[in-house]
C-alpha cells in the first residue's frame, strides 16, 4: 500500500532537512505482497468501514527499516495509515472510483517489477510459495486502494504549484553545514539480445513434447504431466490450467494454435518466446477460450548460442560509435529488453522511478564493476547478461553520464529540491483537507493508541 509519509517534528527546518536527505538517497516504501511478521494480528483503528491492523503497522515499520531508514514512532506510522483510510472513506462518500482496466494495468506493471526484482517468475513463485494468479488476487485490492488514494490526492492537491522563489527560499532555510552529501549518480543505457536456442535443444524439447502427447492420447493424464514436467510453475500446480483468456491476452503463437483446436484436442508442440508448449483446448465461452498447457524451456546454460547475438551487437556498436546510428534509436528498434527499449535503452532506478542511479554498492554488482572500467560516453563491447526471466543474453552498455558526488546545491539539484518543495506543499494541502474532512467520518483507536494525536485531532472513543 502506498502511504503518505508525514514525519512530525518540532523543528520544521529539521523535518525539511530530513525530507531532502531521504529523497536524495532515493528512499521510498515499496509495498510487499506478503508480510512475514510474527505479530499477533488485531484491529487497532477504524476509519468508517475501513480497519487498520496491527500487522499493517508492523509492515510499515519493516518497510522503513528494509530501505535503510529509521522508522518513525508508532503514532506517526499510524497517522500515515489513517490518512490512507481517510482518503478511501472520503472517496466512497464522494463517489470517486477507478477503472478496473487501470487496476489491471497497474497489476501487470507491479508483477513485472516484482519478477525483475526476484530475477525470474520462478524465483518469485518460489519466494512466496504461491502462483502468480494467487499473488495477483492478493494484491488486486491493494492496487485498487492505492489508485483510489492517488486519485483522491490528485483531487485535493493536483492544482498545487510552486515557484522558483519558493524553491530558493526552502533551500536557503537549510543550514549550510547541514546540507546533505549527494553520492555519485549515473545514467546508463543498454541494448539486449537474447541467445539463440540451438537446433539440438529445439529438437530435444519438441521430441519430449511429442512423446508426452502420444502418451496422453494413449490414456495418461495431461494434468499429471503438467504438474511433473511443466516449467510454467504457477499453472503446473493446477495441472497446467490457464483458465479462460480473451483474445489478445496470450502471445500470438499460443493463441493461434489454441484457437485452431477443437475442444479437448491437443496441439503439436508450439514455439513462443517463452519456450515450447503442448496445448489442450478445454472449451470456449463467447470470445474467450479455456486452455491448459505443458511448457518446456530451453536450458539457457547449455542449450543456447550467443554467437549471433554477439555479432549483431558488435555491428550495432560499430554504427553507434561511428555516429551513423543513435543509441536510443538502436535500442528502440533492436533491444529485446521490453522494459527499457521504449525509453531508448535507458535503465530506470526501480527505487525512485528516475533514470539516475547511485554509483555505489546498491547497484547491480555486474553493472557496477563494468562501469568501473568505463569512461563516460563509452559503449562497451558485448557482455554476457542474464535477463529478468533467466534467459541467457548479451548486451552492450552505454555510460551516458555521471554526476559526481557533491554537497547539495541549487544548480545541480534544482529538480530534486523542487520535488521536495512541491511534496511539502501538497502535504500541507492534504493536512488542511484532513482537518476539515475528519468530521465526515468516524475515527476510533484502540486504548493503547489513544494518546496519539492525528494532526491534533482527538479521535472518537474506542469501541
> What pLDDT does residue 16 have?
35
Q: How far is CA 334 from the centre of its chain?
A: 24
Tell me the C-alpha distance between 115 and 124, whole Å.
6
Q: How confident is the model at residue 431 (pLDDT cuts 50, 70, 90)?
A: confident
> What pLDDT does residue 20 have?
35
Q: Give yes or no for residue 15 having a pLDDT over 70.
A: no
Q: Give yes or no for residue 303 having a pLDDT over 50.
A: yes
Residue 119 · residue 390 · CB < 8 Å: yes
Among the ranges given (99-108, 273-282, 372-381), the one the predictor scored with the smallest mean pLDDT: 99-108
307 CB-contact burial (10 Å; exposed 0-12 / middle 13-18 / buried 19+): exposed
> What pLDDT does residue 386 have?
84
Q: Which residue has the cell 563509452?
A: 378
* pLDDT, averaged across the chain: 82
The whole-number average pLDDT for the span 339-349 is 92
Asked if residue 454 is part of any domain, the answer here is no
Q: Give yes or no for residue 452 having a pLDDT over 90.
A: no
Q: Which residues pair with 296 in a beta bridge?
A: 276
> What pLDDT does residue 187 have?
95
> What pLDDT does residue 455 have?
60
> What pLDDT does residue 12 have?
33
Asked if residue 462 is part of any domain, the answer here is no
Q: Which residue has the cell 477504524?
A: 46
With a CB cutoff of 8 Å and minimum separation 6, the contacts of 130 are 34, 138
**Containing domain of residue 363, as a range?**
185-195+306-404
Q: Are residues 18 and 164 in the same domain?
A: yes
Q: Are residues 365 and 284 in the same domain?
A: no
CATH number of the domain where residue 239 is located: 3.10.50.40
Q: Are residues 248 and 109 in the same domain?
A: no
Q: Which residues pair with 398 in a beta bridge?
A: 189, 379
Which of 296, 329, 360 is the last residue before a domain boundary? 296
| Pairwise pLDDT comparison (430 vs 283), residue with the higher score | 283
| Pairwise pLDDT comparison (427 vs 300), residue with the higher score | 427
Q: Are residues 284 and 257 in the same domain?
A: yes
Asked if residue 460 is part of any domain, the answer here is no
pLDDT digits (tens, 9 = 90+) for 100-147: 888 888 887 777 777 666 656 667 777 777 777 778 887 888 888 889
169 CB-contact burial (10 Å; exposed 0-12 / middle 13-18 / buried 19+): exposed
H/E stretch holding 443: strand 443-445
Q: Give yes or no for residue 461 having a pLDDT over 70.
A: no
CATH number of the domain where residue 169 is located: 1.10.4030.10
Q: Are residues 234 and 111 in the same domain?
A: no
> What pLDDT does residue 459 have?
52
Q: Are residues 231 and 375 in the same domain?
A: no
Tell me the C-alpha distance between 143 and 109, whole Å.
11
Q: Are residues 139 and 99 in the same domain?
A: yes
Share of the chain above pLDDT 90, in %: 37
Q: How confident is the model at residue 2 (pLDDT cuts 50, 70, 90)?
A: very low
Among the ranges given (72-81, 103-112, 157-166, 289-298), the one the predictor scored with the smallest mean pLDDT: 103-112
Q: How confident is the model at residue 458 (pLDDT cuts 50, 70, 90)?
A: low
pLDDT digits (tens, 9 = 90+) for 219-258: 999 999 999 999 887 788 889 998 888 888 888 899 999 9
Helix/strand number for the chain, H first, E second? 16, 15
Which of 296, 326, 361 is the last residue before a domain boundary? 296
Q: Give yes or no for residue 428 having a pLDDT over 50.
A: yes
Categorise residue 142: left if φ over 0, alpha if ψ from -120 to 50, beta otherwise: alpha
Asked if residue 463 is part of any domain, the answer here is no
Q: Give yes or no for residue 216 having a pLDDT over 90.
A: yes
Tell me the C-alpha distance between 6 and 38, whole Å.
26
Tell me the C-alpha distance between 147 and 138, whole Å.
15
Q: How confident is the model at residue 55 (pLDDT cuts 50, 70, 90)?
A: confident
Q: Are residues 168 and 223 in the same domain?
A: no
Q: Are residues 85 and 99 in the same domain?
A: yes
Q: Are residues 290 and 429 in the same domain?
A: no
Cell of 179: 546540507
Q: Give yes or no for residue 97 having a pLDDT over 60.
A: yes
Residue 2 · residue 149 · CB < 8 Å: yes
Among the ranges given (63-77, 180-194, 326-340, 383-397), the one the predictor scored with the smallest mean pLDDT: 63-77
Asked if residue 17 is part of any domain, the answer here is yes
Q: Are residues 61 and 73 in the same domain?
A: yes
Whole-angstrom Cα Rg for the chain: 26
Which of 236, 261, 296 is the last residue before a domain boundary? 296
Tell me the C-alpha distance between 421 and 15, whole Å.
12
Total count of domains within the chain: 3
Q: With the C-alpha atoms ordered 271, 273, 279, 281, is the resulting torsion angle positive or negative?
A: negative
Residue 19 · residue 54 · CB < 8 Å: no
Asked if residue 455 is part of any domain, the answer here is no
Q: Give yes or no for residue 35 having a pLDDT over 60.
A: no
The whole-number average pLDDT for the span 285-313 is 87
Residue 21 · residue 179 · CB < 8 Å: no
70 CB-contact burial (10 Å; exposed 0-12 / middle 13-18 / buried 19+): exposed
Asked if residue 456 is part of any domain, the answer here is no
Q: Give yes or no for residue 68 having a pLDDT over 70.
A: no
Q: How confident is the model at residue 361 (pLDDT cuts 50, 70, 90)?
A: confident
Tell me the C-alpha distance between 307 and 195, whole Å.
8
Q: Are residues 121 and 138 in the same domain?
A: yes
Asked if residue 164 is part of any domain, the answer here is yes
| Pairwise pLDDT comparison (123 vs 408), residue with the higher score | 408
With a CB cutoff of 8 Å and minimum separation 6, the contacts of 214 are none
| Pairwise pLDDT comparison (426 vs 318), residue with the higher score | 318
pTM above 0.85, yes or no: no
Amino acid at each position: 500500500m502506498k502511504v503518505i509519509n508525514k514525519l512530525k517534528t518540532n523543528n520544521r527546518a529539521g523535518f525539511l532537512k530530513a525530507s531532502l536527505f531521504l529523497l536524495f538517497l532515493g528512499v521510498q516504501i515499496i509495498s510487499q505482497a506478503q508480510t512475514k511478521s510474527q505479530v499477533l494480528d488485531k484491529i487497532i483503528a477504524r476509519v468508517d468501514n475501513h480497519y487498520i491492523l496491527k500487522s499493517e503497522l508492523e509492515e510499515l515499520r519493516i518497510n522503513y527499516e528494509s530501505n535503510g531508514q529509521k522508522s518513525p514512532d508508532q503514532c506517526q506510522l499510524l497517522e500515515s495509515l489513517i490518512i490512507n483510510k481517510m482518503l478511501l472513506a472520503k472517496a466512497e462518500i464522494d463517489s470517486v472510483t477507478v477503472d478496473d482496466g487501470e487496476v489491471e494495468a497497474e497489476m501487470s506493471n507491479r508483477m513485472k517489477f516484482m519478477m525483475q526484482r526476484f530475477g525470474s517468475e520462478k524465483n518469485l513463485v518460489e519466494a512466496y510459495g504461491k502462483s502468480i494468479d494467487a499473488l495477483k488476487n492478493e494484491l488486486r485490492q491493494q492496487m485498487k486502494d492505492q489508485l483510489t488514494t492517488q486519485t483522491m490526492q490528485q483531487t485535493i492537491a493536483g492544482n498545487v504549484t510552486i515557484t522558483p522563489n519558493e524553491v530558493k527560499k526552502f533551500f536557503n532555510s537549510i543550514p549550510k553545514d547541514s546540507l546533505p552529501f549527494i553520492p555519485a549518480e549515473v545514467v546508463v543505457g543498454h541494448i539486449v539480445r537474447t541467445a539463440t536456442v540451438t537446433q539440438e535443444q529445439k529438437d530435444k524439447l519438441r521430441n519430449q513434447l511429442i512423446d508426452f502427447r502420444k502418451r496422453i492420447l494413449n490414456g495418461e493424464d495431461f494434468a499429471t504431466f503438467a504438474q511433473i514436467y511443466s516449467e510454467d510453475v504457477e499453472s503446473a500446480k493446477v495441472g497446467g490450467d490457464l483458465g479462460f483468456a480473451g483474445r489478445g491476452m496470450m502471445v500470438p503463437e499460443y493463441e493461434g494454435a489454441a484457437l485452431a483446436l477443437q475442444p479437448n484436442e491437443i496441439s503439436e508442440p508450439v514455439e513462443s518466446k517463452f519456450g515450447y508448449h503442448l496445448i489442450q483446448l478445454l472449451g470456449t465461452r463467447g470470445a474467450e477460450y479455456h486452455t491448459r498447457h505443458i511448457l518446456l524451456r530451453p536450458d539457457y546454460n547449455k542449450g543456447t548460442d550467443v554467437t549471433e547475438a554477439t555479432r549483431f551487437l558488435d555491428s550495432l556498436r560499430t554504427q553507434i560509435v561511428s555516429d551513423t546510428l543513435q543509441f536510443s534509436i538502436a535500442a528502440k528498434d533492436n533491444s529485446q529488453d521490453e522494459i527499457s527499449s521504449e525509453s531508448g535503452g535507458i535503465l530506470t532506478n526501480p527505487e525512485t522511478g528516475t533514470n539516475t542511479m547511485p554509483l555505489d554498492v546498491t547497484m547491480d554488482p555486474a553493472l557496477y564493476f563494468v562501469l568501473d572500467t568505463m569512461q563516460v560516453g563509452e559503449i562497451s563491447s558485448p557482455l554476457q547478461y542474464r535477463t529478468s526471466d533467466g534467459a541467457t543474453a548479451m548486451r552492450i552498455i552505454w555510460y551516458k553520464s555521471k554526476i559526481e558526488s557533491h554537497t547539495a546545491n541549487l544548480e545541480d539539484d534544482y529538480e530534486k529540491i523542487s520535488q521536495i518543495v512541491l511534496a511539502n506543499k501538497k502535504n500541507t494541502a492534504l493536512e488542511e483537507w484532513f482537518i476539515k474532512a475528519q468530521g465526515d467520518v468516524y475515527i476510533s483507536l484502540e486504548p493503547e493508541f489513544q494518546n496519539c494525536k492525528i494532526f491534533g485531532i482527538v479521535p472518537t472513543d474506542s469501541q
